[in-house]
């Protein structure tokens, strides 16, 4: 025992599980017609965003920071500004993510924490889009 607190990245299972979570998320988004509206917002080829999301999750969960070091900086909210995210597409994102987490995020406490954090982020993105949109 090192006595050090385990990171979310370690509890999740490290690089292989983080990569699997990102791949599962985009596979689900790509194949389930319930997520068609969300899918249509993305590029036809999901490889680049899947790689990027894998790198983001690694940093976000307290794992290796290579992805951020290579980019220099990254602001999640700015990156999603101007996409016109609605409560509908935010809900699709969350549902697809919950499906992806099923069977992969085995630690119950971590699952609740991740769900809460994703929910706050997705809702904030939809709220920001709504409150910064120009007059209809």
The site for ligand HEM (CB under 6 A) is made up of 38, 41-43, 49, 52-53, 56, 76, 79-80, 83, 85, 89-90, 93, 118, 121-122, 125
Q: Read off the tokens for 92.
A: 């699709």
Closer by beta carbon to ligand HEM, 2 or else 97: 97
Q: Which helix (H) or strand (E) holds 23?
A: helix 15-31
Closest CA to 121 of 73, 79, 72, 62: 79
> What's the closest the beta carbon of residue 107 comes to ligand HEM, in angstroms?
18
CB closer to ligand HEM, 3 vs 111: 111
Nearest alpha-carbon partner for 120 in 101, 94, 97, 102? 94
| Min dist. Cβ of residue 85 to ligand HEM (A) | 5
């Amino acid at each position: 025992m090192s006595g050090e607190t385990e990171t979310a990245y370690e509890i999740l299972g490290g690089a292989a599980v983080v990569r699997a979570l990102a791949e599962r998320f985009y596979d689900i988004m790509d194949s389930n017609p319930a997520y068609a509206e969300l899918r249509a917002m993305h590029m036809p080829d999901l490889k680049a965003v899947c790689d990027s999301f894998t790198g983001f999750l690694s940093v976000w969960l307290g794992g290796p920071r290579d992805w951020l070091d290579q980019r220099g900086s990254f602001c999640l909210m700015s990156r999603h500004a101007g996409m016109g995210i609605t409560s509908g597409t935010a809900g699709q994102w969350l549902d697809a993510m919950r499906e992806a987490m099923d069977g992969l995020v085995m630690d119950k406490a971590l699952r609740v924490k991740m769900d809460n954090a994703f929910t706050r982020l997705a809702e904030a993105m939809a709220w920001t889009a709504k409150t910064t949109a120009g007059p209809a």
